[in-house]
Structure 1
Amino acid sequence: MKLSKLGRIAAVAAVATIALTSCASNEGGTAPDSSSSASSLSGELVGIGASSQGSAQEAWIAGFQKANPEVTVNYDPQGSGAGRESFISGASAFAGSDSALSDDELAGTFAGCATDSKAIDIPVYISPIAVIFNVEGVDELNLDSATLAKIFKGDITTWNDPAIVALNPDAKLPAGNITAVHRSDDSGTTKNFADYLNKTAPDVWTEKPADPFPYNTGEGAQGTTGVVDAVKNGSGTIGYADASRAGDLGVAKIKVGEEFVGYTADAAAAVVAESPAVEGRADNDIAIALDRKTTDPTHYPLVLVSYAIACDSYEDADQSALVKAYLGYITSEEGQKVAADSAGSAPLSSDLTEKVTSAIDSIK
């Protein structure tokens, strides 16, 4: 079965699909120009994956609409794990994922890709992860990584625990129980959160970072929206979510070096800019090994890089053209500005943009 047919089945079945008729005037890595001649592109493009990209994808699809009226883009924010599984099975033309493909995944086969070709990871979205909380009478909260790890592991269970009090001597912390809300689905946001805790508090967070939340503690919620709603509607709650969804909830500062730091897009981008590439990947596979251990207080190490995962060569040439056009738009200067305006994300740096554009151009 052709990928485009599988994509149509996935699009019809998806309940949470973001669907807009979309457009772009180019098939490479350049932003669409609404003043250019009519696009020759047509067809349907299906993406499934990270809910962290949800707000950005809505804005990207709306922007892409201006130049390709004969193209329909559907993005279903089921979560990073579901996105990668769908892409591997050929049910989507690209995946959104807050973690790059693992070595084991790369060693497998991809149903929508041409024979003997592989998938590649393309950074499209950089965002801080916010530690959100809802505690009556508490407007500000400082946490170091060891205390944060103990809260989510279940070792610290009340808000007036001495470890939290020591970090917040001026706060009126209640004696009530802590409800730590984590993702119940396989989530790249969870993997990034766990990676931060494992790297900075390894004596506490001993489990290897992975998409599933590793401990049988707290309360699980589906997707970014589920975590935010559970924290907002609960009492004495704390959770983690893409910063674009923090809304009016309290957001904790985390300890970086000797200071407590709140998230900003610039502070998140600074970590990415100084982090190395994952070793052993192809030149067009841009996976980043984030530096979680920075002590520079101008940096915010609880950050995620969210990827678009695509084939380096597609079985269906029409799908290849659509993927190249869409990824070219969302990683362009215009596309990154759209995401920053709608989701508060950090635009790709000029150096990273150059690598990303080359990777997208290599897709066949």
Structure 2
Amino acid sequence: MPAATALALGLAACGAANEQTSSNGGGEGLSGTINGAGASSQEAAQQAWIAGFTSENPDVTINYDPIGSGGGREQFIAGGTDFGGTDAYLDDTELADATKRCGEVVEIPVYVSPVAVVFNLDGVDELNLRPETIAKIFNQKITKWNDPEIKADNPDTDLPDLKITPVNRSDESGTTENFVEYLSETTGDAWPHEVSGNWPVAGGEAAQGTSGVVQAVRNGNGTIGYADASQAGSLGTAKVGVGGEFVEYSPEAAAAVLDASEPVEGRGESSFAYDLEREKEGTYPIVLVSYGLACAQYDDAEKAELVKSYLSYVVSEEGQQTAADNAGSAPISDSLREQLNPAIDAISGGGQS
């Protein structure tokens, strides 16, 4: 699959670019090109969103390059893209720098998905893993698949005397940051590392992007990694311990985490960043909330209208269902959508008010 997705279709009817957008994100006479880059976890969803939006707006071209969250934030802050995607909300320094570019930053959750613990182990289709066990595996303290700690939660599984090969992201990644944050919050001393988008443990196998991790796990035997669940494919996925049960990932269980979480305070009216609640029973605890980034004000009115219209479609009921159907994500709730729409509707440019 090429690094950038570009979809453009046909010609559009004439009309003013600043006409009110319709419920499906379309507007009369929309035309032009906008470019985005960022989280590779959003790749499948972005492809579906772009196809859906441009089918209604055939004189529009939208490009999205899934270079990873870190690169996406850097390019957006530097002004190299019109919108961005990131699996971790902007930190204080990034937010300040983005504000210099944008005046005010629009930061909204657009894609909610479980992060699956994926594995490839001949003869083993199901696996239960407690948070501490996951931490020790990825911290390379548990190194064999028949380790007593793994066997204790999988008593009926024939676990081989085989080396565990953990696979992590080589690039700065919001998926990594979410996964590491989960380990840090739920496993105590078993995970002594700082939360970061850069993988903190040397010596494992590293791969570029979500697709790279999935491919590396698939190509090995005894491999284990972490990846957006929508891209897990035929790989085994572990059930994760939450309280006294082991929970299988699902979009619904992932969405429940966001609904239980609190917004980060003091970031401006158009920033909807969340500190996630990762230990609530009945939810899948390793969840990725991926954000869309935009400016509240653009120099170019046409760019502003395209970004506003596209993001309106992305968070719409239709757009969220499109992502669910094509990328396995969890649609955001109606109540959250109602909070996000005013921030999107306020996007303007070129002297627009």
Q: Give yes or no for TM over 0.5.
A: yes
2:194 is the counterpart of 1:192: no
Instruction: Determine if the alignment matches structure 1 residue 30 to structure 2 residue 23.
Output: yes
1:246 Cα offset (Å):
0.8
| Structure 1 residues 15 and 265, CA gap change in structure 2 (3 angstroms) | closer
Do residues 41 (structure 1) and 34 (structure 2) align?
no
Whether 1:288 and 2:274 are equivalent positions in the alignment is: yes
Shift of 1:111: 7.1
What residue number does 1:232 align with?
A: 218
Residue 176 of structure 1: aligned partner: 162
Alignment of 1:1-364 (within 5 A): 16-21=3-8, 28=21, 30-32=23-25, 39-109=28-98, 113=102, 117-294=103-280, 296=281, 298-364=282-348
Name the TM-score, length of structure 2 as normaliser: 0.93
Post-superposition CA distance 1:109-152 (Å, at most 9, x none): 46753xxx032311101100111000111111000111101111
Give the stretch that moved more between structures: 77-86 or 207-216.
207-216
Shift of the 131–29 alpha-carbon distance from structure 1 to 2, 3 Å rule, reads farther
State the superposition RMSD in angstroms: 1.8
Contact 1:31 1:334 in 2 (8 A): yes
CA distance in 2, matches of 1:337, 1:27: 22
Q: Point out where structure 1 has 5 or more consecutive residues left out of the alignment.
A: 1-13
Aligned residues: 342
2:191 aligned counterpart, secondary structure: coil
- Shift of residue 231 of structure 1? 0.4
How far is the alpha carbon of 1:180 from its aligned partner? Answer: 0.4
Q: Deviations over 1:69-89 (max 9, x none)?
A: 211000000110010001011
Q: 1:28 to 1:287 in 2, by over 3 A?
A: farther
Q: What secondary structure, in the 3-state scheme, does the structure 1 residue paired with 2:35 have?
A: strand
Residue 166 of structure 1 deviates from its aligned partner by 1.0
Contact 2:88–2:289 (CA under 8 A) maintained in structure 1: yes
2:351 paired residue number: none
Q: CA deviation at 1:217?
A: 3.0
Structure 2 stretches of 5 or more lacking a match?
349-353
